[in-house]
Amino acid sequence: MRVGAVVIRIIRQLLRDKRSIALLIFAPLLVITLVWLVLDGDPYEPKIAAENIPAPLEQVLQNELEKDVVQMSESEAKEAFQKEDLDAFITIKNHVPYVLLEGSDPTANSAVMKVIQTAFSSLSDQKNIQPDVEYYYGSDKINLFDQTGSVLIGFFVFFFVFVLGGISFLRERTQGTLEKLLSTPIKRWEIVTGYLLGFGLFTIIQSFVIVTYCVYVLDIWMAGDFWQLLVVTFLLAITALALATLLSAFANNELQIMQFIPIVIIPQAFFSGIFNLETLAEWLQVLSKFMPLTYGADAIQEIMIKGKDLVDLWQDLLILFGFALLFYVLNIFALKKHRRL
């Protein structure tokens, strides 16, 4: 079995190259941890000011904040916003509670809203009253970590598999082993299949470690099923691998593989859901439809945040599988450049 021979060879090679395995598995862990440290630190303690609020409300707010609510007027509060030393201002306007958020920092926003909501719900006679919320800066659409944490898993799986897979296949060419291989009766599809299976094994391990780490160590919000998430990350990794081997046909050295990163990887990061796309120009939104990471990240997000099942996500998965298949077939054709047969 020639495919089997290629698979075994790749496993042996990678096992000897401990650093590459480390890149594949631990580099994503390190980077995700860094992001987590930055975005998911200790709970934020908001600074809230108030004017003319009823005593019971002031009391529960103080209990909730574990410190005094500062008294100031609305104009004083706005000045404080500009100096960045106040997070929210609360008062009563037309018999309805009114909250003005500083708004530029999503972490602060959600911290304030949490305090205020708890405060209102603990006032039994005020249960049905919803405060009017306004933003001094920004808007309530920003909630960075909710969106990014899950997408980052997809992104880093994609990124590191792409780099390692691309360079490995390129080396096959630069060190002359591809030419040697093509002088044997091996078929082109056997080479590509062997590559995907051999590396695929390592990407399964990679996906498993990253997902386990994020869910159980970093405690990322995870509403869905662990194994279903694993299926999606693996499918994403295989797509990245197929794309990497395909593109490596158009690179002459390692540096040129790196040059694909700003062209192929970074745009995917920007347009795949880390940032909100709805505000973008329509042609940019269309662009994201041609990026595999869009579908992978979406599926990961749906599983992790909304707790959906693979069955609900069949469209994402089908498209992702289609991408992988397309890259696989194009790969076999790209090898024609080196041997037509």
Partner 1 sequence: MASMIIVRKAAISFGKEKVLKNIDLDVNEGEIFGLLGPSGSGKTTLVKMITGILEGDQGEIFIKDQKVPSLELMKSIGYMAQSDALYQELTAKENLEFIAAIYGLKRQERKKAIQEVLEIVDLTDHMDKVVKDFSGGMKRRLSLAASLMHKPDLLILDEPTVGIDPVLRQSIWSELRKLKNNGMTILVTTHVMDEAEKCDRLAMLRDGYIIACDTPEKLKENQKVDSLEEAFLAYGRNEK
Q: Which residues bind partner 1 (CB under 8 A)?
A: 1-2, 4-6, 8-9, 12-13, 16-17, 175-177, 179-187, 338-341
What is the C-alpha separation between 287 and 280, in angstroms, rounded?
Answer: 11
CA torsion through residues 182, 329, 295, 205, sign: negative
Residue closer to partner 1 (CB basis): 191 or 265? 191
Least distance in Å: CB of 168 to partner 1?
10
Structural contact between residues 157 and 300, judged by C-beta atoms closer than 8 angstroms:
no
Nearest Cα to Cα of residue 108 among 61, 144, 70: 144
Least distance in Å: CB of 26 to partner 1?
19
Amino acid at position 185, single letter: P
Residue closer to partner 1 (CB basis): 14 or 80? 14
Enumerate residues 6+ apart whose C-beta is below 8 A from 78.
89, 136
And the tokens for 232?
Answer: 């999606």
Residue closer to partner 1 (CB basis): 12 or 67? 12
Enumerate residues 6+ apart whose C-beta is below 8 A from 166.
244, 245, 247, 248, 251, 257, 260
Least distance in Å: CB of 199 to partner 1?
14
Enumerate residues 6+ apart whose C-beta is below 8 A from 212.
226
Residue closer to partner 1 (CB basis): 13 or 73? 13
Least distance in Å: CB of 252 to partner 1?
15
Residue closer to partner 1 (CB basis): 281 or 341? 341
Structural contact between residues 160 and 31, judged by C-beta atoms closer than 8 angstroms:
no
Least distance in Å: CB of 42 to partner 1?
45
Least distance in Å: CB of 176 to partner 1?
4
Burial class (CB in 10 A: 0-12, 13-18, 19+), 231: middle
Residue closer to partner 1 (CB basis): 78 or 187? 187
Nearest Cα to Cα of residue 20 among 231, 234, 254, 249: 254
| Alpha helix (H) residue ranges in 273-313 | 282-288, 292-306
Least distance in Å: CB of 154 to partner 1?
30
Residue closer to partner 1 (CB basis): 78 or 171? 171
Least distance in Å: CB of 12 to partner 1?
6
* Other residues' Cβ atoms within 10 Å of the Cβ of residue 75: 9
Residue closer to partner 1 (CB basis): 181 or 240? 181
